[in-house]
């Protein structure tokens, strides 16, 4: 986890407990990627979209099994040593 925290600190922000700072850093990062990668080479995808967009881009069939959604926000935060988010 030390390497992951270092990467996040360097690429996004070192203010792990500040949701606004982290979201702003994430949005800046995404905007930078969008500005540097040609549209026809960029796939913007979210896990809840499943296999279809990835498989379509790669030109391969969609696997019969569901896309694995295994890590919840709570699990990731716990793994990084961050407190749980309040509901």
Residue 57: is its pLDDT beyond 80? yes
Is residue 52 very low, low, confident or very high in pLDDT (cuts 50, 70, 90)? very high
The tokens describing 24, both together, are 């702003």
Residue 55 pLDDT exceeds 80: yes
Q: Lowest mean pLDDT of 1-15, 18-32, 52-66, name the range.
A: 1-15
37-51 residue pLDDT tens:
999 999 999 988 999
Q: What is the mean pLDDT of residues 4-22?
A: 81
Query: Residue 56: how many CA atoms within 13 Å on its side-chain side?
Result: 10
Residue 33's alpha-carbon distances to 13, 19, 63, in angstroms, are 16, 21, 28
């Amino acid at each position: 986890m030390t390497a992951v925290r270092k990467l996040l600190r360097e690429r996004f922000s070192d203010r792990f407990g500040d949701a606004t700072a982290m979201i702003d850093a994430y949005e800046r990062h995404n905007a930078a990627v969008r500005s540097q990668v040609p549209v026809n080479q960029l796939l913007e995808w979210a896990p809840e979209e499943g296999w279809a967009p990835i498989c379509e881009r790669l030109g391969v069939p969609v696997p019969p099994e569901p896309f694995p959604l295994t890590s919840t926000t709570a699990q990731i935060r716990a793994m990084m040593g961050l407190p749980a988010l309040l509901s």
